[in-house]
Structure formats: C-alpha cells, structure tokens
Structure 1
C-alpha cells in the first residue's frame, strides 16, 4: 500500500479480516473479478496486492499475476500464500515501477489510489507498463462518503483525512485523500485512459448469514466504493 497508512503495523490483522469481511470478500473483490472477466492467459499486475487474496483468485482463473505492495509485511504474507516462486515485490504506487514497458495485459488497483494525493505520475507509470489497449481496473472510496461521514466538510476540495478502524478486533488508523468525482475523471482521462465503465456494484448475495447487516439485505446495493474499467489509449 502507498505511504501514510502503515500496513506493516497491522498486516496480519488486516489480512485476516480482509479474508472474510463484507466489504472485501463479498463486495469489493467479487466486483473486481466480475470487471476482470475471463483472465485466462492474461498477464496481470496486482497493484497494492496486500496479502494476495485477489492475486490468488486471478491465478486460479488462469492468469499470470505479478504484484507489489509498499508494506514488506504484506508482501511476505502474499509470498507465503502464493508460493515461493511468485512474482511479488516491495514497491510503491506513485514511484517508478520495477517493470518493463508494455509488460501487462491488465493492471488491477483495488482500494489503493485513494491513498495518493496526486495521481498523475502513478497513472503514467501504470500506463507505461500496460500493453497498448491494456486495461486498468480500479476501485476507490466512493467520493460521496467523505462529506457523508465527515459532516460540514467541503466535497469539492482535495482533502487528507484519517479514519479510525478495527481489523480483527484491533484498532488501527487509515489515512486517505478525498477527491471529488470530476477530479478523478480528469486525472484518468489526462493520463490517457479511456473510460469503459463506471460501476456502483451490488454486493454478493451468497454471503453467509450474519456477514451482511439485516438492513442491507433488503437492498440490492449500497455505496462504499466506486469502480472503473479503463483502457490505455
């Protein structure tokens, strides 16, 4: 993960929670895999791979997956999960990536760009390592949630904020950057990506009893993350 939120401090607790939580296991990850579609035979870069749950599922679907994360602890967990021969590196989104030009068919950035105040160089680097016409699939915090959860704050300002959370029952802090939707769209288009799809997906209806709160089970979807499918021009 990029800077500011230090996942080394709570890597194992985050990984344990991520495995079965509503937001990760039954909302974000299924939506990302649906956007990815048939990945058999494709070379995919998992950006901010964490402990490797997405890379594992992509590999099981026939993709060849490389991944990186800022957190050394997360990378170690991913290597344990994926096997010693897995191509998982310590690297940081927003810095030069350790891959050659035109290396990947797809790049997937699950819940990672919202840690960055400036997307310009990060998107430039992702585009560089993608083959022409390659896809970037990404999810970020839905921008409407910042003013909803932080009453009185200005939706239209790029703003750094910190949320107190719990992972596996233990407290932690995550620091994000809120950006209004028009800034997000401008950054993506300016970096040379064509927007194929913007999606506010439903959650997975096969979630076990007790994972989805009863109030949400009456609805098909809820707002938490915003998803993009993009193509490199």
Structure 2
C-alpha cells in the first residue's frame, strides 16, 4: 500500500486516532513510556502521520523532525506542530533526506508492518541515527492475525487487507504479517540490537467505556494487538 493512500481518509483517520482505544490509550502511551525522558534529544518521527506522537514528544522537550508518505497527513501534522518542526513528504522505502548520524532517536509508530521488505528502510533509519541511538518501534503483534485466522498460519510473511471505519468513514489498509523471528532477523541484519520488547496493557487512564469487557472487569490486564521494541544502533 502506498502511503499516499491515506490521503483518501486523512482527516477522518486523524479524528479517530485522537481518541481511540488502540491509538490514544494503548499504542501512543506505550511509545511515550518507552521513549522516557526525551528532553533535548533530536528525534525523527518516521511515518509521522498527522503528528500526534510528535506533539507529545515535542511537549516533553524533544527537538522533533518528521516525515510521512501522505501529503495530506503531513499537512495535518503541520497544523498541529507549526513551523518550528521540520516536516517533509518522504517514502520510508526510499533513501531519506537526512544526513548520517543526525538523530538521537527515531520513532516508527505503526509503520513497518506496511512494508514487505524491512531491511532497506531499517538500514536507512540506522544511517540517520547516531551510534548508540535508539529506534523505538511499534508494529502489529505477530500473534494477532494467526489467533483470529488460524488457517493463515504464523510462520510465513504474507500480505493481508483489513477494512476499517475511521470516524464514520470507511478505509482499507493493507499490511504484511511476519513472524517474530523474521522481525529480529531484520533488526540484526541492519545493525540493531534489541534492548527491550514490550506487550503493554492499556493506559491506566483509559476511559472504562473504551475497554474490552474482560479488561474493564479486571479479569484480564492486557490484550494482544501491537508489539513494541526498543533497538540500539550498533
């Protein structure tokens, strides 16, 4: 799927993203916890979308830059971040318009699972990171799809399509499933070491009405949706 496919429903996606369980109360809080204290750090938001993660990191003292393949998403992000945060339209599957060793951290929030081949984009993100810099990643959990569709199997790398509704507007997204070992192999092949991996619970501040019943009742504390990594550039 080309990133500019998001142009068709950018505004409704942004509206949904701002308050949904999976984005606002689960994925984004987890990314911020993993990032920790970012004051004074130069951070690239790779696949920034409409900019909500960049806003949070900037407000915590980071010096942000960002790019996305969707011009409509970049315009929405500019509306949130103003002119002080440099944002460009760029494709993660192509060479990036940044010098070597430019950033302390890169955040890649729900981006890599759109790509069939991870190694070229990971190599580019490694290039723009300073030695010892961090790449903080969230992706579809590799067990989620096989759990819901066991006939599809787990070990292959394959494409699949899901239908969504974003603030009342339908949208179709195409992803690539890959098993955990394929993820770790791609990280290792491009010079990254895994320093932590997380399967978090939703934020404790999540409105109860948004939680699945078994989480809201306290029977369970978490669910399988996304998988999170903190990687170090060797």
TM-score bucket (shorter structure): over 0.9
Deviation, 1:40, is: 0.0
Q: Give the equivalent residue in structure 2 for 1:230.
A: 231
1:11-38 CA-to-partner distances (Å, cap 9, x unmatched) read 0000000001000011000000000000
Q: Tell me, in whole angstroms, the C-alpha distance in 2 between the residues paired with 1:25 and 1:172.
A: 19
Q: What corresponds to 2:63 in structure 1?
A: 64
Aligned to 2:205: 206
The one-character-per-residue Cα deviations of 1:205-227 (angstroms, maximum 9, x if unpaired) are 11123121322222211110000
CA contact (8 A) 1:114 1:140 kept: yes
CA distance in 2, matches of 1:81, 1:177: 30
Q: Which ranges in structure 2 are unaligned for 5 or more consecutive residues?
A: none
State the Cα deviation string for residues 38-82 of structure 1 (Å, max 9, x = none).
000000000110111000000000000000000000000000110
Mind listing any 5+ residue stretches in structure 1 that lack a counterpart? none
Which residue in the other structure is 1:85 paired with?
84
| Residue in 2 that maps onto 1:193 | 192
Task: Report the Cα offset of residue 149 of structure 1.
Answer: 2.3
TM superposition score normalised by structure 2: 0.96
Residues 207, 170 of structure 1: alpha-carbon distance in 2 compared, 3 angstrom cutoff: same
Partner of 2:101 in structure 1? 102
* Equivalent pairs, count: 232
Aligned to 1:117: 116
Q: In the TM superposition, what are the counterparts of 1:41-190 in structure 2 within 5 Å?
A: 41-190=40-189
1:24 matched residue in structure 2? 23
- Where does structure 1 differ by over 4 angstroms across 4 or more consecutive aligned residues? none
Q: Partners of 1:16 and 1:5 in 2: how far apart?
A: 18
Indicate the residue corresponding to 1:36 in structure 2: 35
SS at match of 1:51: coil
| Deviations 1:148-174, CA, capped at 9 Å, x for gaps | 222311211110000011100221111
Q: Distance in 2 between matches of 1:188 and 1:84?
A: 33
The CA deviation string for residues 119-154 of structure 1, in whole angstroms up to 9 with x for no partner, is: 111000000000000000000000111112223112
| Shift in CA distance, 163/111, structure 1 to aligned 2, threshold 3 Å | same
Structure holding more helix per residue: 2
